[in-house]
C-alpha cells in the first residue's frame, strides 16, 4: 500500500516543471525525475512539448552537440509551424552569440572574446564596489530592507550599463527598462514599447561612440580590428543580450548567494574571516544556488539520442541546470549541501561548449563584490522571515526571489 501511495505521489503532471510546487521547491521533483526518467517530457502552455535533460553527463554532451541548435531562426520556424503563423525574430534578439550557430557564430565569438575579456571585467571591480556601497548607503538608513529591490536587482543593471559606456544620467532609464523587460508578459504592447525605447537609445549611443571612443565595451566592439569588428546591428543585439540575460541571471545569482549566506552562518563567518577566499568560493556558491533553472532551449535538427531516449527532429530540448548541478554522479559528496572546500565544482550554470556564457566572469565578480560588501557592512544581518516563507518567481530560465526581506544590524 505504501509503495502504491508513493508511486501516486510521484506521478508527474504533464506541466510538471511549470507548477508552483516546482517553482518553490524543485529539488525533490528533480531528484525523482533524474533517477526514474532522466529525459522527461514537458507539455508547454502554448502547445507542443519539450524534452528535459536532467543528468550531468547527458546535459554536458547535449550542450556541445551541433545537432541541438541555438539558432533563433530555427526556433521561430518551429513556433511558426506550431501556431500556423509566420513568425520572425526581432533584430534586437537575432544577431548575438547566444542565438546563433556556426558559421555565423564563430566570428562573433572571436570578436566578443577579444573585447569582453576577464581583464576588462576585473577592471570594473572598483566601479562595482562604488555602486554596491552607494546602494548599501541607501539601505543603511532603514532598520530593514528588501535586498532584491534595493540591491540585487539594481546592482547588475548599473554595472552593465557602465560597462557599455552608458552615462550615469541614463542609469535610471536602464533600471526602468530592465524592470519592464523582466515583468512584462510576452506579447504585451508595453513590452514592445520598452524594446523600442531601449533600441532607440542604444542605437544613438552606438552612433555617438563611432566618433567619441571611450574605454567601454561598446567602443571596443566598434573600434576593434577589421577582422573582429561587429556591425551596428550586431552590437545592438549584443547590448540587448547583456541588458536582458546578463542582468536577470546576475540579479538571480546575487539574490541567491545573499540568501544562502544568510542561512549558512558558519560559511559566512569563514569568508568574513578569510576575505581572500571569496573568489575561490564563487563556483561552489554558483553550483549550490543555480541562478538559472534551465539553459536556453535547443532545437533538434535531426533525431538525437540522449540518455537512451531518441528525440525526433524538430523538437525542443531543455537542459535542467538545477538538476545537473546536484547530480550525485558528478557531485558524489553531499550534492545538496554547500561545501566551500569542494574540489572542482564544475557546474553547468553558465553552459558548456561554444555557447558558454561570455559574461560568466563578470557575473561572478559582481556577485562576489555584492556579497562581500554587504556582509562586511552588515555582518549581523538576518532574514526577516523564515526561509520557508521566501518565494521564487516562476521562470523557465532564471530563478529569482520575489523579495528578500532582512533586518539590518550594524556592527558596533
**Whose grid coordinates read 547583456?**
242
Q: What is the mean pLDDT of residues 96-117?
A: 92
User: What does each C-alpha distance from 23 to 18, 52, 179, 345, 374 come to in angstroms?
Assistant: 7, 15, 20, 24, 27
Helix and strand element counts for the chain (H, E):
20, 10
pLDDT at residue 39 greater than cutoff 50:
yes
At 28, is the secondary structure helix, strand, or coil?
helix
Residues 6+ apart with CB under 8 A from 380: 409, 410, 411
Rounded distance between C-alpha atoms, residue 256 and residue 325, angstroms: 14
pLDDT digits (tens, 9 = 90+) for 292-310: 999 999 999 999 999 999 9
* Residue 9 confidence (pLDDT): 47
Q: What is the mean pLDDT of residues 273-291?
A: 95
Rounded distance between C-alpha atoms, residue 364 and residue 355, angstroms: 17
Q: What is the pTM of this model?
A: 0.94
pLDDT digits (tens, 9 = 90+) for 191-203: 889 889 999 999 9
Q: What is the mean pLDDT of residues 350-374?
A: 96
**What mean pLDDT is reported for the chain?**
92
At 320, is the secondary structure helix, strand, or coil?
strand
pLDDT digits (tens, 9 = 90+) for 222-270: 998 888 888 999 999 999 888 878 899 999 999 999 999 999 999 999 9
Domain regions of the chain by residue span: 15-407
pLDDT at residue 281 greater than cutoff 80:
yes
Domain 15-407 has CATH 1.10.630.10: yes
Amino acid at each position: 500500500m505504501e509503495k502504491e501511495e508513493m508511486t501516486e505521489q510521484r506521478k508527474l503532471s504533464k506541466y510538471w516543471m511549470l507548477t508552483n510546487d516546482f517553482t518553490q521547491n524543485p529539488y525533490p521533483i528533480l531528484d525523482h525525475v533524474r533517477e526514474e526518467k532522466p529525459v522527461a517530457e514537458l507539455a508547454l502552455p502554448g502547445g507542443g512539448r519539450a524534452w528535459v535533460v536532467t543528468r550531468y553527463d547527458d546535459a554536458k554532451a547535449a550542450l556541445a552537440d551541433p545537432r541541438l541548435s541555438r539558432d533563433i531562426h530555427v526556433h521561430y520556424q518551429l513556433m511558426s509551424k506550431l501556431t500556423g503563423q509566420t513568425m520572425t525574430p526581432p533584430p534586437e534578439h537575432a544577431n548575438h552569440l547566444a542565438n546563433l550557430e556556426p558559421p555565423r557564430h564563430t566570428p562573433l565569438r572571436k570578436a566578443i572574446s577579444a573585447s569582453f575579456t576577464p581583464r576588462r571585467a576585473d577592471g570594473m571591480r572598483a566601479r562595482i564596489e562604488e555602486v554596491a556601497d552607494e546602494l548599501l548607503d541607501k539601505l543603511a538608513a532603514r532598520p530593514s530592507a528588501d535586498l532584491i529591490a534595493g540591491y540585487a536587482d539594481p546592482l547588475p543593471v548599473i554595472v552593465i550599463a557602465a560597462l557599455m559606456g552608458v552615462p550615469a544620467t541614463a542609469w535610471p532609464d536602464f533600471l526602468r527598462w530592465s524592470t519592464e523587460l523582466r515583468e512584462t508578459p510576452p506579447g504585451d504592447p508595453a513590452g514592445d514599447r520598452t524594446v523600442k525605447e531601449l533600441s532607440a537609445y542604444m542605437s544613438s549611443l552606438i552612433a555617438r561612440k563611432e566618433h567619441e571612443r571611450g574605454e567601454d565595451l561598446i567602443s571596443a566592439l566598434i573600434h576593434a580590428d577589421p577582422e573582429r569588428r561587429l556591425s551596428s546591428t550586431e552590437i545592438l543585439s549584443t547590448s540587448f543580450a547583456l541588458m536582458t540575460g546578463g542582468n536577470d541571471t546576475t540579479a538571480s545569482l546575487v539574490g541567491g548567494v545573499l540568501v544562502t549566506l544568510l542561512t549558512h552562518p558558519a560559511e559566512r563567518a569563514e569568508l568574513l574571516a578569510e576575505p581572500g577566499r571569496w573568489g575561490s568560493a564563487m563556483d561552489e556558491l554558483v553550483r549550490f544556488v543555480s541562478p538559472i533553472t534551465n539553459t536556453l532551449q535547443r532545437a533538434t535538427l535531426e533525431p538525437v539520442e540522449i540518455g537512451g531516449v531518441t528525440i525526433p527532429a524538430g523538437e525542443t530540448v531543455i537542459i535542467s541546470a538545477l538538476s545537473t548541478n546536484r547530480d550525485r554522479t558528478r557531485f558524489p559528496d553531499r550534492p545538496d549541501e554547500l561545501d566551500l572546500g569542494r574540489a572542482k565544482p564544475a557546474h553547468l550554470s553558465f553552459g558548456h561548449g561554444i555557447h558558454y556564457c561570455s559574461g560568466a566572469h563578470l557575473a561572478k565578480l559582481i556577485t562576489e563584490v555584492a556579497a562581500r560588501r554587504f556582509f562586511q557592512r552588515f555582518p549581523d544581518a538576518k532574514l526577516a522571515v523564515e526561509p520557508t516563507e521566501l518565494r521564487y518567481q516562476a521562470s523557465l530560465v532564471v530563478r529569482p526571489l520575489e523579495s528578500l526581506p532582512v533586518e539590518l544590524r550594524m556592527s558596533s
